[in-house]
Structure 1
Amino acid sequence: MVTATRIQRDGYEAPTPTSVIGIEEIAAKAPANLADFVNELPSMAPNNTPRANVGFVSAGLVGINALNLRSLGASRTLVLLDGQRVGPSTLTGLVDVNQFPQALVKRVDVVTGGASAGWGSDAVAGVVNFLLDKDFTGLKGQVQGGTTTYGDGRNYNLSLAGGTGFADGRGHILVSAEHAYNKGISGVPRDWYDGSKLMFNPAYTPTNGQPQLLVSPNTGFATATPGGIITSGPLRGTYFGPGGVPAQFNYGPVISAPFMQGGDWEYADFARSGDLDPRLSRQNLFIRSSYDVTDNVQVFVQGSYSRAKSFQRTLNQFNFANITIQPDNAFIPASIADQVTAPFTLGTFNQDMGPIPALSRRSSWRGVAGASGNFEAFGSDWDWDVYGQKSVNHAYTAADISITANYRAAIDAVRNANGAIVCRSTLSNPGNGCVPYNIFGTGVVSEAALDYVLGTSWGRTKLKEDVFAGTLRGRPFSSWAGPVSVAGGLEHRREAVSGSNDPLSSTRSFFAGNYSASFGSYNVTEGFLETVVPLAADQPWARSLDFNGAVRATHYSTSGYVTTWKLGLTYSPVDDISFRTTRSRDIRAANLAELFQASQTSTTSFNDPFRNNASTTAFQVTRGNLSLDPEVADSLGVGVILRPRFLPGFTASADYYDIDIKDAISTVNAATVVNQCFQGNGAFCSQIDRDVAGVISSVLVQPVNLAKQIARGIDFEAGYRQPFLDGDLAIRLMATRYLKNYSDDGITPPTDTVGTNGTNGTLKNSLPRWRYQASLGWSRDPVSVLFTARGFSSGVYNTSYIQCTSGCPASTTANMTINDNHLPGAIYFDTSITISLSDQVDGFLSVDNVLNKDPAQMAYGPGVGTAPLSVNPVLYDVLGRSFRMGFRFKM
């Protein structure tokens, strides 16, 4: 059975293109994680991996390994396990591939086309189906370990799987267990980092021809240092080093708050304080048992449990010149105390607090019971299957962060009547427990002060999914060209979320985190019908011509009824060439987060145009919207497949896709809300809260049905297998040329992100014009070798930027001018070798990024929301050369 269709039919090829990854390819590559291997496919955008989410505290995605086809968002890619839905791992609907029994995966089908009519909602971009070897008999296992060329990032993987029959072969049982660990990489122990930042040009005016944005290497912060820096008054530029000793800061030649190029930039930069790679430990257990009740009926039960724990150190708490110090503060060093006669502002990275540690624990229980069988009716054979699934996912996310009120009270320290240093608030409220906190310098804060200032922001989420489904397949009659195949079925699904959080998070009392508990549920009832009708066979003008059609009726308790459909044709004039085309209507309904999220907050930094683009740190508050309608996507696919008889073993295909999404569900970020208000769109101004000084404190954002999103591109795939040098040669090439990824939300100017190697405002928008992967494998017992090249084309920071160094037009919000908008492409070479040590044991060695190619520097800014590491980990390899070696056995 091929995932592109529900029809089971020998020799039939569905019109929807499918890339297949077999167990041999997986074994040859020996990936540390199966999701890592799948995410290297050119049709994937690997922006929901553990490394891509480094630095994010409030999103709760630490450790997640999800899949995202076409860069349309992981929520638009349907992930299946043996053709069955898998419960979401996050409130946003992401499915964590870490929970799958990877030792039993025999094949991965990647359907790169709309498949909602066949498989249901969320399959707008396509389907990724992990198929298990349910008939495996014997015992197999693997021991694998790895590290980088720098001796860090150590990891290992242990797996064991077994299968056996019972009851004279009528029954079969499978058991699989896996334990994997990745130590992660603390800090950024690499010499490629150059401190690149993207800053506003302080010399820019709309008429002087200079660019508004500057890509600047060797750039740190002008308004914060590890132990604090005075940013106003006569002592401006006085910073406090180890032990609180004052010194004069060396400002660089270019200053544009909060950034500064040159001078003491390395000292005033905290990008290296976060982790390059998070620590991740995961375990899973899978059990399946099947039994042939009769020759025509089989029943099965299966259960799985998985858990994962991840940890990372993210950004420091940054206070960019937003702390006011009173002149009587008791911790002001004596050497400058006499010079302080008025309040001044101070900025700090709060080095004594250290980087914010973020912890995530996830567990998943999944149980499935079902039956399958076959029978004869209407003169033909029919087969059927039914199953019920229940999954429960628990997620706990926590971060040790400062409590804002405690921090503000503790740094406002004075001397009491006895000369002792106390909090100012303690003078009027002696029993408040406040412990004074020395904000001047590093290595000066007491443990008691840290205990008072720091707290744990935590949130627990429970996600439940119940599914009941049944499918019937058969060939009720024949046309003039052959038997007509049909498949139909029913499915009912219920999704629910509940949770809890600490009391302080409910009132946004922490610097970051502030996790919230969401509650809600919805249900979906669906029915589908699919058919394959042969229209011609063995004709002079057609070796074969088949029609494939599907329709699905869906009713959501939240948004009502919707119909999806698919029409497709496959045509082979001769055996050497085939053409395929599909036209489909696909949908995605709002997920639990988009519907029910209860004011999730994250700390972000942006430039406030109301205050001359002043750097502003505020809460972005995201709230669900019960009024959302389903997205509707019209998809077109046209392709050709070549199998020339004059070149046995060679196949090639090219497929064009066009996905047009109407009423796309999306959320504009805080910076967009502020800019829209500044430009006169009054509807957004009510979403902005400011403090008494006029500084933005929070911005409310909500998902809405936007106007349109369009994705277009061409997928290429070619393969060649032939005997060579007394062995077997296998060559495979896969590439995707992205033509358009266009968004028009009816609010901001339309943007096409194709060609973006930067973040374009978010990692989710990184999309080079080309992504490719080529592999060359050769095997001759007892040796197999594999060489792989993977990469992407050069691009820009942001497709809306205008590059210029002089004579620039006036910069606008829609099209800002920049001095350097270029980011290079990259190609990485990997290799692996497998040696059969015996009939049952293989040894293997894999090396990724053989040439140890450094990532390109990507200037970060102009806002600061997460650790500003000047690289894009979604596209570029940030670890360097990595080694994995181990043994696998099968008996």
Structure 2
Amino acid sequence: MSNSTKLQFANSVRRYALATASVTALLTSAPLALADDAAAKDPELEEVVVTGSRVVRDGYDAPTPVNVLGADEIKAAAAPNIADFVNTLPSVAGSATAANSAGSLSNGQAGISALNLRALGTGRTLVLFDGQRSVVSAATGQVDTNTFPQALISRVEVVTGGASSAYGSDAVGGVVNFILDKDYTGVKATAEYGETTYGDNENWKFNLTAGAKFAGGRGHVLFSGERVRQDGVHYYSRDWNKSGYFGVRNPDTSAGAPWFIVSKNVGISAYTPGGLITNTALKGTYFGVGGAVNQLNYGAVTGQWMIGGDWKYSSSGMNGTNSLAPDEERDSLFGRVSYELTDHLSVFGQASYAKYSGLSYYINPTQTGIVIQADNAYLPASVKAQMTTLGLKTFTMGTSNADMPASGSNNERETWRYVAGINGDFEAFGLAVDWDGYYQHGKTETLELETPTWNTARLTLATDAVVNPANGQIVCRSTLTNPTNGCVPLNRFGVGVASQAALNYVLGTPWRTQEFKQDVAAVNFRTNSIEGWAGPISLAVGAEYRKESMDGYVPTEYQASGWKYGNYKVTKGDLNVKEAYVEVLIPLLKGLDLNSAGRYTDYSTSGGVKTWKIGLTYSPIDDITFRASRSRDIRAANMSELYDSGTARSNSVNINGASVAFVQNLQGNPAAAPEVADGYGVGIVVQPRFLPGFAASVDYYDIKVDGVISFVTAQQTADYCTINKIAAYCNNMIYSGGVLQTINLYYANLNKMIARGLDVEASYRVNLADLYEPLAGDLALRLQATHYIENVTDDGVTAINLAGANTSSTPDWVYRFSASYKLDDWKFDLTARGVSDGVVSNAYTQCLSACPASVSPYFTINDNHVDGALTWDLAVNKSFEINNMDLETYFSIKNLFNSEPVLVANPANLGAENTVGYLQTNRTLYDVMGRTFRFGVRMEF
């Protein structure tokens, strides 16, 4: 290819990149400036493949929106990791982060950052690294984006729409592609520190990146290393979380009263930190510090809850036990070597390693219904005397176990990824063809380690403490008949009374190791030179083979279901996928283009499926583009959904107003069929020539997923059985002696999921001197908003719209506005992030009196309103040069005005044991850490 031809092709690619960015109204300074500069400085600019499509050609406007987050935006955000920045996009809703996954004790997901487009679930968002798949971090199929080399990400492309036909399974909600800066040359480093305005959550980040050419420019080598450390915030709650704000069953059960009541000063009536007697004439007696005997002042009791009274004390053992932020240690290394064998053929090899370790606490484990014998050796004398007077042989007790550590996870993960690839170009049959292929082997090894949690059998034995008549020592009753059983008696009556020896006996640290492997081989061919009647036709074809497997190990003592948490079982399985695709772009008329794709995928677990898409773009004039798309997408079951062997965990559900403990047993289903999604999208893009630098777009989407792979939750199972009287769900609730023991949950193809919404974007970029000569500097304004109209999962019994419910991740509106001003070496960025007002649930009816009858899940409530919020961020950057070294210092403030999160009542979860310890807000929508400062310096040689 001659230099003039290369330059012509580079300009064509540049125009394509600019057109695609314009279509999505993302005219931000970074991507456009980079594209212009690259074309001007490097006549051998490589081909740019935008994630929205595998075909590339001049002047094509993508039929599905593609959000491009450029390097300048990423830098300005100064987020601890790129995923946190991506999560600020309104179309990204309900993502898993290291901060909000603390409760994932038994499935190994704690600490994973996994993206969620359209709130369709992280498993329905395909995450790519430089267009390639990456090995999963958990059996649930999630890819931890923190395993990617953060310092080498040049941009992030987000396709908010079905893309299975172009990229394969899991792209129901869309694709997020982290693009690698493969051609970086030089040396750069970053040092960064952050903490909150409260002086906690201290964190550090250091990275070093280097790239160089060799062999006369035919070869290129790249290296990057990063270290991240974060101090978590545990056993502590901000003041805004201390008002006892909950939604609970109304104590007033008279006709016409609301079923649920939202109130402050709500606490627990079923237990206290050191133990509370819950029956007999001694009901309300509780044990305080050192075993002191007190009487609880009950408020208005409703099941395990009460309003008023000693609500603050009864809940004190739980408040703040869910970590505000986890401890984190992350280390990563990345290396890449590429070489041009000829002018038309290049090869590359790359390897990466990422290690994560993190600690987060879920909850202080509670226990109710503990039977205490009258001859218990640790009973305070006054209580023992009362039992003798009243003729009581036993009583029951509830406790939040203040003497025991909170339950949580201390996980470790190591991920290795190796890629070898080849790419080139050739001419055949008069066509210029570009092609590439790669092979990837990835492996993730995990250590899923619980923090100390109790063994139920040992706890029962240790609680039943008596005086040995032979020597007057306190022993376990079981030791009298079995002297070698090793039981150590445990004092359960008070705070600060348990011996370390007894705790060592009842507590254990269940653990499991898992290994996930992924092998991928893929090849792709593209051409833009097929002559058509209205212009060149672009064609892409390719094929891919993928094999995934998982295995693990669990010590025998932790495979039983006798532990409070971490009742692991070995889960193993494998699958392979063979697929091929074709995508074509055909100019039909001037300004009218057709983009179509089809893919055939053959799963070893469920057989063959077909996916496809059809997209149209029409530009009657240069100022306006109309676009529409229709797609068929699929998602096959992941290895957890197929093979989970029944990981058990202790939990609680609400039955008739009372919290009932049980063991939750979730099992896989090898017969789970792939989900099938039908997606529609229409939109309009405006780029008026009379207002240069301005663009706006509005896009409507409608996605329906049939055969959703999921499970009916434990609380739903209890409601459907006890309230709706559905026998099939009653069969999943296993009782023994009238006491609930287990609720079996199964992955299955539920009815359907529906997501409908509207994306609105607008941007304006201008040099202020063009508006008014005395002014100076570049100004870039950008607005992004998503209106969630409908988000429904139909499980066959109910279909509740979660859109507009601020207890979910899809309020009516989520919006983000940013203003960037650059003057010489200074850059200022101001960002506003907001959510609209919403409701607790669209299934609830708000009323104070004369309320209609409630039938699960359609309840009445006294206050169904949840406030919205607006949060501001500020960043300041200063660039300068010292001794031929480019330096950039930056300072950012997240949550500039230290806005407190909105309190969110969620009575649907009032039976879960984590309710008190969890933050009474929605941490996916509202900022819980408060004002956060970050300082850093970037250096480049």
1:293-323 Cα shifts (integer Å, max 9, x gaps): 1110000000000011110122111013x10
- Contact 2:367/2:399, CA 8 A, preserved across alignment: yes
| Counterpart residue number, 1:267 | 313
State the Cα distance separating 1:730 from its structure 2 match: 0.5
> Given the alignment of the two structures, is residue 687 of structure 1 paired with residue 732 of structure 2, yes or no?
yes
1:628-657 Cα shifts (integer Å, max 9, x gaps): 111001111111111100000011111110
| Counterpart residue number, 2:32 | none
Q: SS state of the match for residue 313, structure 2?
A: coil
Q: Give 1:53's aligned amino acid.
A: S
Q: How does 1:174-253 map to 2 (within 5 A)?
A: 174-193=222-241, 194-205=243-254, 208-252=255-299
How many pairs are equivalent? Answer: 870
- Contact 1:271/1:315, CA 8 A, preserved across alignment: no
Q: SS state of the match for residue 837, structure 1?
A: strand
| Counterpart residue number, 1:318 | 366
> Given the alignment of the two structures, is residue 124 of structure 1 paired with residue 176 of structure 2, yes or no?
no
State the Cα distance separating 1:476 from its structure 2 match: 5.4
- Contact 1:54/1:276, CA 8 A, preserved across alignment: no
- Contact 2:87/2:93, CA 8 A, preserved across alignment: yes
* Residue 898 (structure 2) aligned to one of 837, 845, 852: 852
| Counterpart residue number, 2:887 | 841
> Given the alignment of the two structures, is residue 738 of structure 1 paired with residue 784 of structure 2, yes or no?
no
* Residue 810 (structure 1) aligned to one of 826, 847, 853: 853
Q: Give 1:300's aligned amino acid.
A: F
| Counterpart residue number, 1:145 | 193
> Given the alignment of the two structures, is residue 550 of structure 1 paired with residue 597 of structure 2, yes or no?
yes
Q: SS state of the match for residue 271, structure 1?
A: coil
Q: Distance in 2 between matches of 1:600 and 1:130?
A: 33
Q: Give 2:207's aligned amino acid.
A: S
> Given the alignment of the two structures, is residue 713 of structure 1 paired with residue 757 of structure 2, yes or no?
yes
1:840-880 Cα shifts (integer Å, max 9, x gaps): 00100000100100011123542124233212111110000
Q: SS state of the match for residue 342, structure 2?
A: coil
- Contact 1:76/1:126, CA 8 A, preserved across alignment: yes
Q: How does 1:592-603 map to 2 (within 5 A)?
A: 592-603=639-650
Q: Distance in 2 between matches of 1:699 and 1:447?
A: 33
1:263-303 Cα shifts (integer Å, max 9, x gaps): 22121111222321111111110001000011100000000
1:52-76 Cα shifts (integer Å, max 9, x gaps): 1234432322211110000000000
State the Cα distance separating 1:483 from its structure 2 match: 1.0
Q: Give 1:376's aligned amino acid.
A: E
Q: Give 2:247's aligned amino acid.
A: L
Q: SS state of the match for residue 728, structure 2?
A: helix
Bigger shift: residues 299-308 or 795-804: 795-804
* Residue 393 (structure 2) aligned to one of 326, 329, 342: 342
> Given the alignment of the two structures, is residue 675 of structure 1 paired with residue 727 of structure 2, yes or no?
no
Q: SS state of the match for residue 516, structure 2?
A: strand
Q: Give 2:459's aligned amino acid.
A: Y
State the Cα distance separating 1:437 from its structure 2 match: 0.1
> Given the alignment of the two structures, is residue 330 of structure 1 paired with residue 377 of structure 2, yes or no?
yes
Q: SS state of the match for residue 618, structure 2?
A: strand
| Counterpart residue number, 1:525 | 578
> Given the alignment of the two structures, is residue 445 of structure 1 paired with residue 493 of structure 2, yes or no?
no
Q: Distance in 1 between matches of 2:604 and 2:362?
A: 39
Q: Distance in 1 between matches of 2:444 and 2:582?
A: 31
1:56-105 Cα shifts (integer Å, max 9, x gaps): 43232221111000000000000000000111111101110110101000
Q: Give 1:471's aligned amino acid.
A: N
Q: How does 1:576-591 map to 2 (within 5 A)?
A: 576-591=623-638
| Counterpart residue number, 2:935 | 885
* Residue 420 (structure 2) aligned to one of 353, 357, 369: 369
- Contact 1:401/1:456, CA 8 A, preserved across alignment: yes
Q: SS state of the match for residue 314, structure 1?
A: strand
The 3 A distance-change label for structure 1 pair 380 and 47 is closer
Q: Give 1:644's aligned amino acid.
A: P
- Contact 1:393/1:462, CA 8 A, preserved across alignment: yes
TM-score of the aligned structures, taking structure 2 as reference length: 0.91
Q: Give 1:737's aligned amino acid.
A: H
Q: SS state of the match for residue 870, structure 1?
A: coil
Q: Distance in 1 between matches of 2:844 and 2:609?
A: 39
1:505-526 Cα shifts (integer Å, max 9, x gaps): 3211101221222100010000
| Counterpart residue number, 1:540 | none
Q: SS state of the match for residue 387, structure 1?
A: strand
Bigger shift: residues 862-871 or 409-418: 862-871
CA RMSD of aligned residues (A): 1.2
> Given the alignment of the two structures, is residue 751 of structure 1 paired with residue 808 of structure 2, yes or no?
no
| Counterpart residue number, 2:697 | 653
For structure 1, the 5+ residue unaligned runs are: 538-543, 759-764
Q: Distance in 1 between matches of 2:487 and 2:748?
A: 43
Bigger shift: residues 72-81 or 229-238: 229-238
| Counterpart residue number, 1:876 | 926
* Residue 394 (structure 1) aligned to one of 434, 445, 453: 445
Q: Distance in 1 between matches of 2:903 and 2:736?
A: 37
Q: Give 1:412's aligned amino acid.
A: D
State the Cα distance separating 1:674 from its structure 2 match: 2.2
Bigger shift: residues 850-859 or 169-178: 850-859
* Residue 697 (structure 1) aligned to one of 741, 752, 766: 741
State the Cα distance separating 1:502 from its structure 2 match: 2.7
Q: Distance in 2 between matches of 1:164 and 1:618?
A: 60
State the Cα distance separating 1:689 from its structure 2 match: 1.2
Q: Distance in 2 between matches of 1:313 and 1:736?
A: 33
- Contact 2:348/2:420, CA 8 A, preserved across alignment: yes
> Given the alignment of the two structures, is residue 410 of structure 1 paired with residue 473 of structure 2, yes or no?
no
State the Cα distance separating 1:791 from its structure 2 match: 0.9
Q: Distance in 1 between matches of 2:846 and 2:556?
A: 48
- Contact 2:103/2:408, CA 8 A, preserved across alignment: no
* Residue 277 (structure 1) aligned to one of 325, 343, 354: 325
Q: Distance in 2 between matches of 1:559 and 1:454?
A: 42
Q: SS state of the match for residue 720, structure 2?
A: helix
> Given the alignment of the two structures, is residue 618 of structure 1 paired with residue 662 of structure 2, yes or no?
yes
The 3 A distance-change label for structure 1 pair 605 and 122 is same
* Residue 502 (structure 1) aligned to one of 544, 555, 566: 555
Q: Distance in 2 between matches of 1:346 and 1:46?
A: 38
Q: Distance in 2 between matches of 1:740 and 1:246?
A: 53
Q: SS state of the match for residue 359, structure 1?
A: strand
- Contact 1:588/1:632, CA 8 A, preserved across alignment: yes
Q: Distance in 2 between matches of 1:503 and 1:198?
A: 41
Q: Distance in 1 between matches of 2:482 and 2:277?
A: 29
| Counterpart residue number, 1:541 | none
- Contact 1:378/1:476, CA 8 A, preserved across alignment: no
Q: SS state of the match for residue 779, structure 1?
A: strand
Bigger shift: residues 49-58 or 434-443: 49-58
Q: Give 1:558's aligned amino acid.
A: T
- Contact 1:58/1:603, CA 8 A, preserved across alignment: no
Q: SS state of the match for residue 257, structure 2?
A: coil
Q: Distance in 2 between matches of 1:591 and 1:585?
A: 19
Q: SS state of the match for residue 767, structure 1?
A: coil
Q: SS state of the match for residue 536, structure 2?
A: strand
Q: Distance in 2 between matches of 1:620 and 1:441?
A: 29
* Residue 527 (structure 2) aligned to one of 463, 474, 483: 474
Q: Distance in 1 between matches of 2:913 and 2:109?
A: 16
| Counterpart residue number, 1:627 | 671
| Counterpart residue number, 1:168 | 216
Q: Give 2:835's aligned amino acid.
A: F
- Contact 1:185/1:275, CA 8 A, preserved across alignment: yes
Q: Give 1:247's aligned amino acid.
A: N
